[in-house]
Each structure stands twice: as C-alpha cells, then as structure tokens.
A and B are shown apart, each in its own frame.
Chain A
Amino acid sequence: MYFSDIGIISLILALGFAVFTIVVATLGATRALPQLVASAKRSVLTVAFFLILASVALIVSFLTHDFGLSYVAQHSNLAMPWYYSASAFYGGQEGSLLYWALMSSIFSAIFVFTAKRAPTVLVPYVLATLMGIETFLLIVLTTVSNPFVRLPVPLANGVGLNPLLMDPGMLIHPPMLLMGYMSFSLPFAFAVAAMITGKLDSEWLRSIRRWMLAAWSIQTLGLVLGAWWAYHVLGWGGYWGWDPVENAALLPWLTATAFLHSTMVQERRGMLKVWNLSLVFASFALSIFGTFEVRSGIINSVHSFAYSTIGSYFLAFLGIVIVFSIGLFIFRLPKLQPEQEFDSVISREGSFLLNNLLLVGAMFATLWGTLFPLISNAVQHQTLTVGPPFYNQVDGPIFIVLILAMGIGPLLAWRRTSTRALRRNLGIPALVAAICAAVLPLLGIRDIWANIAFAVCSFTAGAILYELWRGVRVRHRHGEPYLFALYMLFERYRQRYGGYLVHLGLVMLAIGIIGSHFFQVQQEAVLKPGQQMTIANYKLVYLGNIDRTYPDVEVVTAQLQVWHDGQLQQYIYPGSQLYASFANQPTSLISISTYGLTDLYVFLANWNGLSDATIRVFVNPLVPLVWLGGIVMLLGGIICWWPQRRKRLVSVIVPHTEKEPASQRVGALAPPSVESIVGHSDSSKAEVAPGGEGTLASPPVGVFSGTSENDEEASI
C-alpha cells in the first residue's frame, strides 16, 4: 500500500460523488425537493475532500521521493529542494490536470459555502454544471492522464525538473494561470443555471458579476506573473512574445473584460442580455480552447507541444460546451428581449458598446493570428504564420482607441450627454494630452505613433485623476479632510472607483508597453577584462568571470561595473547555471537593475574560461510600469470585488424617515455632494437632487453604476 493508492482511490470516489451530485441536484431542482439539493451540496464538499486527499497523496509521494510512481520519477529527483519537489506537483500534464480538478472542486466548495447569497433557484443547476466540468476532468484523470500510475520497477533517482522551471516564478505563475482558466467555470455555471431556469434578474447579475470579477482578477494576476517570469528567466529582453500559448491565456481575459463592462448596461437598462451571456460562454469556451491548444499540438509554438492524446478529449469537451450553449440560447431566446432601447451614441451605453466591440475585435484578431497556420493550411494547403509584428500592428491601434474610450466613457451620462457638459469634463484632460504631445518631441521622442500613444495615455490618466479630484473636492467642501475624502470615495463607491483604479493601472501598463516597444535599445559585445561597452547612457566595465561549483549545480557569473551619469552605480553579476541533472541545458541568471523607470537588462550570452564573456545588454525604458500597472489593476479588481458592507441601519439615524428610500437611492448613485447634503439633513436640496436630468432618465438600479450626470450636479 503506497500513498499513491490513496490518490487513485480518492479520484475514483470523487468521480462517483461528482456524478451523484449532477443527478441529485437536477432531481432536486426539477422535483422541487430541497433535501436533495442539500444532499448535492454535501456531495460537492465530499468531492472537494477527496480531491484534496488525492493532491496530498501526490505531494507526499513527491516529498518522500517515491520514484516508483512514474509521475514523480519523471518530474523530480533527490537533489531538488523540497519546495521545488512540492511544486513539481503541477509541473507536468497529469499533475496540472489534478491541480485543475482540485481548484475546480475548491471553488465549487466555496460556492456551496456562499450559496445562501446566490438566488436559491439557481443553486442546484450551478452545482450540476460545476460537477459536470469536474466529472470531465476526473474521467480524464482516472483514464488517459493518471498521475498515480506506478512503474514496474522503481527508479533509484528521478529525472528531475526542467531547470527553466526551477525559479520562484514557477512556484506561483502556472498555478495562477490554471486557476484563472478554471475560475471561468463559475460564471459559466451561473449562466447555464440562469438559462435553464429563465431567472436572469438583477440578483443573478450581481452573483455572476462577482464571480466573473474574481476570475478576471486571477487571470490578470496570472498574465502579469507570466510576463514577469518570461522577462526574468528567458533572457530575450522582452516579456510578451505573442506566442500561441500566451495568446490562449489572453483570449478569455479579453472577453471577460468585455463582459464586466457590458453587464453594467444590462444592469442599468436591461439590454444586451444575449450578448452578455455569449461573452460568459465565450470566456469559458476560450479557456477550454486554451487548454486544448496547449495540449494537442495543433499549433506550432515556442512552447513545443508534446503530442498528447489528451488534446482530443479537450476538443470533444469544447464541442460539448459549444453545442450545449447554443442549444440553451435557442431554448431561451424569447426570454432574452431587451427591456429598453438605445438612444444616443454619445452616452455611457454607447461607450460600453464601443469598448465591447474593440475588446471582442481584439479577441478575434488575436484568435485569427493564432489559428492562421491552420486556416492557411486548410485554404491554401500551405502553412503560413504571422509573428509579433502582426499582433503589434493590429492589437496596438485597437488598444490605443480602447484607452481613449476609457478616458471619455466614464464621463458620459446614461442615455445621452449634453455636449456642454462633455466639453467641461474633457477640457482639462484634453489640455494635458495636448501638452504631452507638444512636449514629447522636445524630449527627443520623434516617433509619431509613440507620441500619439503617449498623448492618449496622458489624456486618459488626466481624465481619471481629474474625476478623482472632483470627487475628493466635493467631499472636502463638506468638511472631510482630503485623504479621508479619498478613502471615503473608495469605501462608498467601490465598483466605480475600483474601476477607475483598474483603468489607471491599465494606462500605466500601456505606458510601460509603449516605452519598451518603441524605445528598447540592445547591444552585444565580446569583452576581455578591463574592456567596456557603452549603451544609451550606461557604461559597463567587464572585470572577469567567477565560477562556483556546488554538488548539484555549477554557476558561472560575469562581474561587471555599471556606470551611469559619470558615477559607479553598482556591480552586477549576470550568469548562467548548469544543473547536474540537465547537463546540456544551461539556465541564464539575468541581471536586471532599475534606474528610475528604466531597466538595464544584462544577459551573459556566452563565455570562455574566466576572462572572456559575450554580454548582451538591453535598455528597457518604462518596463517597471508594466509590473506596477499590473499590481494597480489587481488592486482595483479586488476593491471592486470586495463585499460592500450593508448600510441599511444608517438610515434610521437620519431624520425625515419618510424620505428615506429616495435619499438612499441617491446615495447609491454616487453623487458625493448630494449624499453629504442629505447628511446635513437639508431636505429641500435632497429633493431637488433626485429630480435631476440623469436620475429621471435612468431608474436608480444600484451602487455598481456611478453616474456622471450626478457628478455634473456635484461640480456645479
């Protein structure tokens, strides 16, 4: 009896319980038997328990170096430190599938624990859908891709993990992306449940939005970590190469972003229902497609694809998901009529539509490029590929327009905006952009596209910051100190200001991408001790190589001085390490030092003895903004997601109780001034406020959608 036996038994039991859940949950819903639904919930928790048990069994097998287990022998060895051994758990195909199934079951369990917040009718169908996905994964895990297969004769030592993966990034980046892929299954389950029951109301919308926001945040983190890992480990000076595998992770992120915006239109105006559901289905289908693409080997990638039978299983699953979704649409279409209609393009919903078209356009363009080898082969019987220039030239302009829309959109009112108000709101950001466009050429930025891109970014950043400032100023006038006012804005209107923070993060990220795309400089030189190379304003003086040998790894580093502005800044040690178990595959140790917002990226390309080195240097301007922007985006996502405290009790304290519903609605609609006025219990003004143009035009539906028409009042 080995630990691995516990693993395989757990997997089989989990499969049984998953199937059981589907049956019981469906029966409970159709026959209206709450006991059965309760039983389904417990069964989901049981599935999670058995998957945790299976994962523990695999991790223990790794930590105890059970090389009788094929998967352990293939992915670890005795010399690896325990944390890499443990993380090798998801370092191969079988294990990463187990990890996926584990995360899926844990998320399902989280759903069970929070199910009382979700609409009751939906719960059984959500459970059934989630366990449907789990069943698929468990079938694959127990048949074609079983991590618990034992070798006839145990090995004395394992093969070890690829050294490229022995990096701190490896500990967090792949699990994050896998978790991101997986997390799209929850919005999908909600969409399926809503389609089956026909319950597509605002309560459902709130639930699905929260889960999608969580999925979006996880995927954002996964993408940024992936870029960070590529930048710090692969040594080509960049962080995003438009490789099919990277694209696969970007695609569902784009549709999820589109969904998060267009649901606001549904929430406010009851429109775009079919579109929103399509985006949820597309996000999930694309995450399955990503897995399929990675596993099947249909597309050539730098991440070479081992041919694996598992790909066809994912293709079949993808087919089932698509057919099932289309079937549901046909079944439910009559219920999905829009409740209202569009009025004017220059309106909030108009900007959301623009945003959606651009995001989905970028998604299709990227998908086109990714699938182009297949398409061209089918049409011309010739395989053609498109490289990074294609994506840069297609997605670049789309994203610039998107960023521009990001600056204008939040300033527009629902339904229609008066040009006067728009001009007042856009004046300052436009001025900022104009100054930026005029000053940049003086600073030596002559590239017209870079100038346009930077000007657009400064416009949007200006618009967001100006909006923040106006909110703070209004609260400040009502007696709050500036910092407290800022805090209260975020505290009160999380969705809205969290959204602004995400936008600000994206602008920072865009500035970083523009900077490194247009202004990267690289140079290579073969140096002998004492020789130097100069690049941009940096001077590197080579001193020699240092060779250190440890039991399992040999490390060669070159020693260099970095001079900048006529001063010695620091010593750097770019190097290369050679693991004994992977003797023919050196891994680079890249030296990245940051001066202000510029990265000096130094890579030891080759060396000869102790006094000869080929050094490749990249100067990457603004790259730190990419990471900073990613963090800000994530922070904004978390703020949006964070549960809002219910504030109903507050209303009791305020006088004029009969006005309560109105004033609270006004508060929810985010005009800081109006709210403070209510706080001052000046009832006449409080009555004026809800009668404003915007509030009449759009029914007050909730806290998620801050309206700028109210802000216009605020700034009067």
Chain B
Amino acid sequence: MQTAVSVPKEEEKPKSRGRRRLPISFILGGLAILGAVIYLVYANTQANAVYYFTVSELKNCSICNTQSVRVAGVVQAGSVVHNDQQQKISFVISDGGHSLPVVYSGIVPDIFRPGITVVVEGHYTGLGPFQAQTLLAKCPSKFQAATPGP
C-alpha cells in the first residue's frame, strides 16, 4: 500500500500560483464559528465568574449580598461541629488574620479535617456565618505531587 504515497502531486501545482488563497465561503464559515465560540466564552464568563477572596478581603466585600463568592481559608482546630439531624456541618476558617464561621450542608470531602485549606462557595451577608453551597478541600501536597492529572 505504501507505493501510492510517493506519487507526486505536481499536476495541480502550476494552477495554484497567483490565485486567491481562500474562497470567501471558507472565510465566512470560519468567522461564524470563531464568533460563536467567542460569544459562548464571553457570555458564560459573564454569567459564571465568581469572585475569589481571602477571609480578610471578604470583610470589606460590597457585592457579597447579591453574588455568590468563593473564599479560601484554613479550617481551625476544634471548630468543626457536625449536626447529624440537619445534615449540616459548621466550622471556622481563617487566613491567619481574620476568621470566618461557615455553615455547610452537602458532600464533605474525605480529606476534610482541621488544618487543611478549603475553598467554600456561597453567600455572605456580613451577619452570621457564611452560607456555603460548595465545599472544596485541597488535597495535601503529597497527593498533589502524586497525581499530576485528574
């Protein structure tokens, strides 16, 4: 089967010089797709972008009443309280300076425990605890190094 591969493609070559490179239909089609992709990215970035704060930054937050935000911090020792009746867990996270009480109900990652860094996503009114809808635990460094992939 390999014989055919080396057949030269010369026959068409002379014609191709000096003609326009790309028919207009290709350019239009390409632009349409490009436009669609850019629109998708733009619209969804607008719709889904979430602010990412440290605990200290959250204290001066002006948009947190209306928008869901993400906050990162270290779970404080002795602060974790499970409430089995309501399926809730509450704890305090800190970034060294400020601390923030958090209430969360949902899947608690296996590695969640005091001392690890977590990222919570949810609403904060400035009064009472941070209402988290999502809780992400950061895996310890060794885990990270071990699985460079998903």
Contacts and interface: CB of A to CB of B under 8 A. Distances in A.
Nearest to A341: B16
A320 to B, nearest CB: 21
A658 interface: no
Interface string A331-374: 00000001111111100001001100110011011001100110
A588 B23 CA distance: 58
Contacts of B11: 699
Contacts of B41: 364-365, 368, 394
Given A234-B110, A246-B149, A386-B48, A164 B37 contact: no
Given A353-B30, A587-B110, A701-B7, A526 B143 contact: no
Interface in B123-150: 136-150
Nearest to B54: A383
A240 B150 contact: yes
Contact of A226 (B40, B45, B150): B150
B45 A222 contact: no
Contacts of B29: 345, 350, 353-354
B7 to A, nearest CB: 6
Nearest to A159: B142
Contacts of B23: 342-345
Contacts of B4: 664-665, 668-669, 700-703
Most B CB within 10 A of own CB, among A91, A162, A301, A605? A162
B52 A373 contact: yes
A306 B144 contact: yes
Contacts of A269: 9
Contact of A294 (B16, B53, B144): B144
Contacts of B9: 269-270, 339-340, 699, 701
Nearest to B17: A337
A328 interface: no
B26 A350 contact: yes
B72 interface: yes
B48 A173 contact: no
Nearest to B45: A386
Nearest to B143: A162
A304 B138 contact: yes
Interface stretch (A558-566, A643-651, A681-689): A643-651
B44 interface: yes
A305 interface: yes
A278 interface: no
B66 interface: no
A240 B20 CA distance: 45
B53 to A, nearest CB: 8
A92 B146 contact: yes
Interface string B75-90: 0000000101101000
Contacts of B1: 644, 646-647, 664, 667-668, 702-703
A393 interface: yes
Interface string B1-27: 111111111011100100111110110
Interface in A141-171: 161-162, 164-165, 170
B94 interface: no
Contacts of A226: 149-150
A178 interface: yes
Contacts of B3: 648, 661, 664-665, 668
A701 B92 CA distance: 67
Interface in A367-395: 368-369, 372-373, 376, 382-387, 389-390, 393-394
Given A384-B50, A668-B1, A245 B44 contact: no
A353 B149 CA distance: 30
A203 B82 CA distance: 66
Q: Contact residue range for chain A?
A: 35 or more
Given A340-B12, A358-B33, A703-B1, A397 B149 contact: no
Contacts of B87: 524, 526, 614
A75 B142 contact: yes
A394 B44 contact: yes
B43 to A, nearest CB: 8
Most B CB within 10 A of own CB, among A245, A341, A389? A341
Contact of A339 (B16, B111, B113): B16
Q: Contact residue range for chain B?
A: 35 or more
Most A CB within 10 A of own CB, among B21, B22, B147? B147
A497 B117 CA distance: 49
Contacts of A664: 1, 3-4
A227 interface: yes
Contact of B111 (A294, A376, A585, A606): A585
Nearest to A270: B9
A230 interface: yes
Given A664-B3, A699-B7, A701-B7, A300 B147 contact: no
Contacts of A608: 84
B113 A585 contact: yes
A223 interface: yes
A400 B140 CA distance: 37
B49 A96 contact: no
Contacts of A362: 37
A693 interface: no
A202 B3 CA distance: 12
Given A300-B119, A344-B25, A164 B139 contact: yes
Most A CB within 10 A of own CB, among B34, B109, B145? B145
B145 A306 contact: yes
A584 to B, nearest CB: 5
Contacts of B26: 342, 345, 350, 353
Contacts of A393: 40, 44, 47-48
A96 to B, nearest CB: 7
Contacts of B12: 339-340, 699
Nearest to B12: A340
Contact of A235 (B25, B34, B110): B110
A665 B1 CA distance: 8
B84 A304 contact: no
A681 B128 CA distance: 88
Given A586-B110, A605-B107, A398 B40 contact: yes
A338 B16 contact: yes
A581 interface: no
A304 B117 contact: yes
Contacts of A350: 26, 29
Interface in B92-110: 107-110
Contacts of B20: 341
A93 interface: yes
B90 to A, nearest CB: 15
Contact of A398 (B37, B51, B148): B37
A123 to B, nearest CB: 19
A656 interface: no
Contacts of B113: 584-585
Nearest to A647: B1
A394 B40 contact: yes
30 contacts: A161-B142, A174-B148, A178-B148, A203-B5, A223-B149, A223-B150, A230-B150, A234-B110, A249-B149, A302-B136, A302-B138, A302-B139, A304-B143, A305-B144, A340-B13, A361-B34, A362-B37, A368-B41, A368-B45, A376-B49, A385-B50, A386-B50, A398-B40, A585-B113, A588-B110, A605-B107, A668-B1, A669-B4, A701-B4, A702-B4
Given A397-B40, A703-B5, 4 more contacts: A235-B110, A249-B149, A270-B9, A303-B143
List of 4 A-B pairs having minimum Cβ-Cβ separation, nearest first: A306-B141, A304-B138, A246-B150, A177-B149
Interface of B: 1-9, 11-13, 16, 19-23, 25-26, 29-30, 33-34, 37, 40-41, 44-45, 47-53, 70, 72, 82, 84-85, 87, 107-111, 113, 117, 119, 121, 136-150
